[in-house]
Amino acid sequence: MANKNIFKNSLLVSNIFDPLTHETDSLKKLYRDLSGSSRYQGIETRLIRDELLINEFNSLNQKARWNVTYWITGEMSRAKLNPSSIDENLRDKTAHEIYKSIDIAALTKCDFIGIASGRCEDENRRTEQIGQFQKTVCQALDYIQSKAYPIKLVFEPLDTFAHKKNVLGNTDNVYGFLNRFPENITKTKKLSICWDSAHFALNEDDFNYSINKLSPYISRVHFADAILDKEDKSYGDWHRNFDQNGFMNESVAASILKQLIESGSHQDEIYVSVEIREHDINNVWNLEEQSFRFLESAIKAACD
């Protein structure tokens, strides 16, 4: 059972429990229910803005001691913000919105703030956009440092041509991007990535190649499924159930974790979670149970 301690169970609250996350009262109850379980060392959720919820969450987390990630990706794209925009005004506005989110995140015990690189506006200017994203990331890191917040930045490379059409990215571009930063930034995990299986699959990247190359930067893994047949109406990043019509199953998940171990350059702790979006309020706890079992088996199979 070597290495089992590397992997920490994490729960993507806003996906698995989506129907319970839109009202303060149901969300408060949900955090309370979850804090009574010792299944998860980490939770990934939307930014908590409501003052009552902030207080409640802080008191619950004194016991639960979750490693907390707030993903602001969805909020940013809904607000038509883009951290890699060629339009410098929009990019600058986005950077300032990120600062505001960081300030709010700091009101609770936040370990990671999660972003994505934003939509590619012009295929011919992708390189320029990568430069713009670098600027935003540097500014966000400087902002965190200037406020002395104990918050780290994680970004999730998304699919580049299939669905979300983000700037970053495929393995080689992500690797090149991360190497633009001084080593101490990535070594101290001030900047890391979330390796999501659906996005790398949609980018048609070889998993083992990708994991070997990016391993030192991976602080979390999302097990997400996708239909990879371009002719299929379900092609894309739809956070679908693991129903065997896509590529994801326990053995694929285990092989991802195994590859991380074999890379020999992985981080000392990696948070792993299942990314399935539940729409049926009556099924959320069933899905949580299934996802937890899935994580447990994948970790066990990878480490045995």
Where along the sequence are the contacts to Zn ion (CB under 5 A)? 196, 222, 275
Q: 207-214 vs 171-178: helix axis angle to the nearest 10? A: 0
In angstroms, give the least distance from the CB of 76 to Zn ion: 15
Q: Which is nearer to Zn ion, 164 or 222 (CB)?
A: 222
Q: Which is nearer to Zn ion, 133 or 143 (CB)?
A: 133
Q: Are 219 and 189 within 8 A, CB to CB?
A: yes
Cβ 147 to Zn ion, closest distance in Å?
A: 27
Q: In terms of CB distance, is 13 or 60 closer to Zn ion?
A: 13
- H helices of 148-182, where? 171-178
In degrees to the nearest 10, what's the CA dihedral of 179, 184, 186, 190?
-140
Helical ranges in 204-270 per DSSP H: 207-214, 250-263
User: What is the 3-state secondary structure of 136-162?
Assistant: HHHHHHHHHHHHCCCCEEEECCCCCCC
Which of 90/298 has CB closer to Zn ion?
298
Structure tokens that stand for 251 in this block: 């053995």
> What single letter denotes the amino acid at residue 233?
K
155 vs 292, beta carbon nearer Zn ion: 155
- Rg, C-alpha atoms of the chain: 18
